[in-house]
Amino acid sequence: NGFIWLPLFFAHKINDPVALQYTFYAFCIFCLAASSIYTLNDLIDCKSDRKHPVKKNRPIAKGILNPVEACSIFLILMLIACTLSAIILSYKFFIIIVGYIILNIFYSVYLKNLAIIDIFCIATGFVLRVTAGANAADVPVSRWIIIMTFLFAILIALGKRRNDLMIAESS
């Protein structure tokens, strides 16, 4: 979610108190939205996570959090993120948050199982963060920051997938 701050930095508005305030709101709202998605993803993956050497310690996989509680947390965090984005920030920001949530619901349910598509979904999530940050700070977002963010996120996602494969091979 730190990518939300990039447009503010590159627009040289890091000292603008209003832009800082709204970017902070955007950051917090994206943290809520991302947390809701992580909860949903862990809920969907809890059976396979129980067999994973590291993921088995996640609250749902470990049984600390039951599925009903996890589903409630997902819904509450998602609703708070959407409500705050509509009340505090702009309509465009609200659309970005809703788009992020919808993309990641599809990702968690189905798209993460499609090679290459999963990497593009992850990269799109980073681009949505940059776009949201620009919208919150009311600064223009250049094509270059979008392209570089997308490419950097693809690199991160490929590295993560490689690491997942190495862990799977060693098990």
Q: Which residues contact 33 (CB under 8 A, 6 or more apart)?
A: 77, 78, 81, 82, 97, 100, 101
What the block records as the tokens of 116 is 């290459």
Report the percentage of the chain scoring pLDDT > 70. Answer: 98
3-state helix, strand, coil in the chain (%, to 5): 80, 0, 20
8-22, 72-86, 152-166: which has the minimum mean pLDDT?
A: 152-166
- Global pTM? 0.89
| Summary count for the chain: helices (H), strands (E) | 8, 0
Average pLDDT of every residue of the chain: 91
Highest-scoring range by mean pLDDT, 46-55, 107-116, 141-150, 155-164:
141-150
Report helix, strand or coil for 168: helix
Digit-coded pLDDT (tens) for 25-54: 999 999 999 999 999 998 998 888 788 777
